[in-house]
Amino acid sequence: MSVFPNINAQRLANIPKYLFAELDALKSQYQSETGQDVIDFGEGNPALSPDPQIIRSLISNLKDKENHRYPTYAGKLQARIAVAEWYKKRFGVALDPETEVTMLIGSKEGVAHLIWALIDKDDIAYVPSPAYPVYQNQTMLAGGIPRLMPLLEKNNFLPDLSDIKPHKKLKLLCLNYPNNPTSAVAPYSFYRDIVKTSHKHGFYCFNDNVYSELYYHEPVHSILEIPGAKDCCVEFHSLSKTFSICGWRIGFAVGNKNIIQALLKIKQNVDSGPFGAIQDTAIYALKNIDKFIKSTRAEYEKRLLLLSTGLSNLGMCCPMPDATFYLWTKIPDIQYQKDSLNFACQLLTNTGVLVAPGIGFGKYGEGYVRFAAIVSLRQTKQALQRLAHYKK
């Protein structure tokens, strides 16, 4: 018997394995067993190259000696000013860059730390299901109680707000629109109802708005556009998908200054803010966003159209989404009895096409799979051919 104690803290016991790590393992297994390439629609990890001007900006910012020192916790004031200016222009929302904006090492980092900043043992957080797993898992890690809000097709994948019940331990409501994995968009009226409900029951709210610039019709809203939202809400953004720089780790949180301060208090004890050269490049990217976003949007739109038409022709109903780069589609019922993991495994084994099983996004994701339009048009065509061949 080992003299060493159990490695895992008790708080890790209830946390499921991270879905995307599991998918990576499945993918490697297929590749080593068959020697064939996997066409990977599984993870939302864009493979588009950042614009060369963005790369050049980073190279030039690397030459600034100051950028090699520890960054400031909330981020450079110039970066926060650039965020506030973009917010005003894009959403018509005024922000104080000194108190209502903080730079982040990606939205994931910000969401995780915000939950730790707000949630005490047995505090209740409403989390969507299906969802990006971080909301539920971080709530549990912080000792809180996640209450699932089912996102159902019949409700346009919006939570039913009449399910939210007042409770003395109710602290937080987590939202993510445009939504991963369902690609649903929240109308202004929904955000208005959320802000009204949070004032009524007394809880805080965040919207993880990382896909705000990947829309294909009308520009999507910010929750902060609603009068009174700044009393209780913050919003997260990321440069990961907007500028295809996921690996750089840069995002920001904006909104209620007390929530931002609480988030910063955690961050001061955990990290030291994003790399200065990346913040300087973020300033350049945000100031020139119109120049860069059009081609990114156009590329995802083409891929999504090809994929949604192709999958619909194969009998998987898949309307073109209004935003994000995801397609959320029901699996063929009869064969797979709603078992999305089984379906994804069968698909991978028989075609080398990898999709994310809905169950990986929580209980209410079962019966669906998610395609992320992160592979090229050529590979998407190839994947559709493999699927058509398999169907026969």
Ligand X SMILES: Cc1ncc(COP(=O)(O)O)c(C=O)c1O
Number of residues that bind ligand X (CB under 6 A): 13
SS3 at position 125? strand
Question: Using CB under 6 A, which residues numbered 128 to 147 contact ligand X?
Answer: 132
Q: Site for ligand X (CB under 6 A): which residue of 40, 208, 213, 280?
A: 208
- Contact segment (CB under 6 A) with ligand X among 28-36, 100-108, 330-338, 346-354 equals 100-108
CB of 297 vs ligand X, minimal distance in Å: 17
Binding track, positions 218-257, relative to ligand X; x by CB under 6 A: --------------------x-x-----x----x------
CB of 392 to ligand X, least distance (A): 34
Of 93 and 245, which CB lies nearer to ligand X in the complex structure?
A: 245
User: Which of residues 204 and 252 has its CB atom nearest to ligand X in the complex?
Assistant: 252
For residue 280 the two structure tokens come to 């300087």
Q: How far is the CB of 272 from ligand X (least distance, A)?
A: 17
Q: How far is CA 323 from CA 150, 151, 179, 238, 244, in A?
A: 20, 17, 8, 15, 16
Alpha-carbon distance of 308 to 306, in angstroms, equals 6
Nearer to ligand X, 97 or 106 (CB): 106
Which one of 57, 61, 102, 107 is in contact with ligand X (CB under 6 A)? 107
**Closest CB to ligand X among residues 210, 263:** 210
CB of 63: closest distance to ligand X in angstroms? 26
Per-residue contact track with ligand X, 161 to 200, x per CB under 6 A? ---------------x---x--------------------
Q: In this complex, which beta carbon is closest to ligand X, that of residue 243 or of residue 384?
A: 243
Classify strands 204-208 and 170-175 as parallel, antiparallel or unpaired. Answer: parallel
- Identify the bridge partners of residue 208 per DSSP, sorted by sequence position: 236
Q: Which is nearer to ligand X, 157 or 351 (CB)?
A: 157
Which residues, at least 6 apart from 359, have a Cβ–Cβ distance to it below 8 Å?
339, 340, 341, 365, 366
CB 347 within 8 A of CB 386: no
Give the CA angle between residues 150, 152, 153 to the nearest 5°.
170
Question: How many Å apart are CA 343 and CA 345, to the nearest integer?
Answer: 5
Span interacting with ligand X, options 78-86, 106-114, 284-292, 302-310, rule CB under 6 A: 106-114
310 vs 325, beta carbon nearer ligand X: 325
Does 44 participate in binding ligand X (rule CB under 6 A)? Answer: yes
Q: Of 97, 106, 274, 365, which lies in the binding site for ligand X, with binding defined by CB under 6 A?
A: 106
Return the number of the residue (42 or 310) whose C-beta is nearest ligand X: 42
Q: How far is the CB of 370 from ligand X (least distance, A)?
A: 10
**Residue whose CB is less far from ligand X, 106 or 360:** 106
At its nearest, how many Å lie between ligand X and the CB of residue 168? 29
Q: For 137-179, list the strands marked E by DSSP.
A: 145-150, 170-175
Q: Which amino acid makes up residue 279? A: Q
**Cα dihedral sign, 60-61-63-64:** positive
DSSP 3-state percent helix, strand, coil across the chain (nearest 5): 45, 15, 40
CA proximity to 44, closest of 338, 305, 288, 361: 361
What is the closest distance, in whole angstroms, from the C-beta atom of residue 53 to ligand X in the complex?
Answer: 21
Phi, psi of 115 (to 5 degrees): -60, -40
Region of 143 on the Ramachandran plot (φ > 0 left; ψ -120 to 50 alpha; else beta) = left
Do the bridges between strand 251-255 and strand 326-330 make them parallel or antiparallel, or are there none, so unpaired?
Answer: unpaired
Query: CB-wise, 57 or 207, nearer to ligand X?
Result: 207
Among all chains, which residue has been given the structure tokens 């998908």?
Answer: 241
Tokens of 188: 């202004």
**Positions 250 through 309 that interact with ligand X (CB under 6 A):** 251
Closest approach, Cβ 205 to ligand X, in A, equals: 15
Q: Where on the chain is the footprint of ligand X (CB under 6 A)? A: 44, 106-108, 132, 176, 180, 208, 210, 238, 240, 246, 251
